[in-house]
Amino acid sequence: MTRFARFTAIVAMAALGAPYAAAEDRAAAAAAAKDDIAATLGGVPTFVNAIADAALPGLWQQAKDLELSGDTALDRKTKALISLAVAAQIPCTYCIWSDTQAARSAGATDQEIAEAVAMAGLTRNMSTIFNGMQVDFDTFRAEMAAN
């Protein structure tokens, strides 16, 4: 984003009443998020300190509301298996390890874990073919909808 575009966005947010948080406010919000992380997890993992103050509060809230909450449309096991499948494709070693642990603690079997990862591989494989061979999407959609 250019300086002009950034400035324009700040002016637009201010005009709409959206506050542009000062560094002190961001630091305070990050400290509050770390306190909540400690209360929730029993401590603050070291990697949390590598997250920018401006990003931490929102990231933590999203993790609590989606990944850690038992009050969502998906159960914990399904969320962990989806996250593991995505992590295997990114790839993210840290995520693969923690998502495997989360899936197991939510009751996933070794076979369910293997199948989730295999589905990720199949999806990636088919995507490679579709994109590499430039398969026409409208034709694909029409043919698949008929089946």
pTM of the model: 0.78
Residue 80 domain flag:
yes
Task: Tell the burial category of 103 from Cβ atoms under 10 Å away from its Cβ (0-12, 13-18, 19+).
Answer: buried
Q: How many domains does the chain have?
A: 2
pLDDT in tens, 38-63: 999 999 999 999 999 999 999 999 99
State the angle between helix axes of 93-105 and 110-132 in degrees (0 to 180), rounded to the nearest 10: 140
- Is 87 in the same domain as 35? no
Q: What share of the chain in percent tops pLDDT 90?
A: 83
Residue 112 domain flag:
yes
Q: Give me the domain span that covers residue 63.
A: 22-72
pLDDT in tens, 7-34: 666 555 555 655 567 889 999 999 999 9
Residue 86 domain flag:
yes
Residue 16 domain flag:
no
Mean pLDDT over residues 62-82, rounded?
Answer: 96
